[in-house]
Amino acid sequence: MKCPKCKNLDTKVIDSRMTEDWKAVRRRRECEKCWARFTTFERLEFVSFMVTKSSGESEQYDRTKVVNSMMKALVKRKFNPDKIEQIINTLETDWAQNKQGITSKRIGRDILRKLRDLDEVAFLRYASIYHNHENVAEFIKFLEEELW
């Protein structure tokens, strides 16, 4: 595993634990060059499924896109990485149940719901991008409907 700090390839595992939902192994690693510590997750790859975008185009589900979108909403917010991993695992399990695939709208809606429970600021950030509001009044109307 490459060290995220110095890019050294020599790292060692100093601790391994199962996540709370028993679907991944959390490993604490240490770089043997710069001694930086970091966490990695090892998990089974889910059965792949198709996502239908709003344009009608279909593409293979990409976990990285979900992780990146949530991380953008959580920038400079305190959060538990294990909780994010657990949320994404739960969502993927739900999404993979639908054999015909799912829509990108459902993915966005489900992420928005989970972020609302996790962090209100992240929820607002995600909603402002996901719903692509034309103006502030439209965004305020959405929030009034969604929050009250």
128-138 residue pLDDT tens? 888 878 888 88
Provide the pLDDT confidence category of residue 41 given band limits of 50, 70 and 90.
confident
Same-domain check for residues 5 and 19 = yes
| pTM (whole model) above 0.75 | no
| Structural domain containing residue 19 | 1-44
pLDDT at 47 > cutoff 80: no
Burial category of 123 from C-beta neighbours within 10 Å (exposed 0-12, middle 13-18, buried 19 and up): buried
Same-domain check for residues 29 and 68 = no
Q: How many domains does the chain have?
A: 2
Provide the pLDDT confidence category of residue 24 given band limits of 50, 70 and 90.
confident
Q: Please state the length of the chain.
A: 148
Pairing of strands 24-31, 37-43: antiparallel
CB contact at 8 A, 50 and 71: no
Same-domain check for residues 4 and 67 = no
**CA atoms of 32 and 127, how far apart (whole Å):** 42
Report the pLDDT value the prediction gives residue 89, as an integer from 0 to 100.
Answer: 87
Same-domain check for residues 24 and 78 = no
> Looking at per-residue confidence, does 68 or 101 come out higher?
68
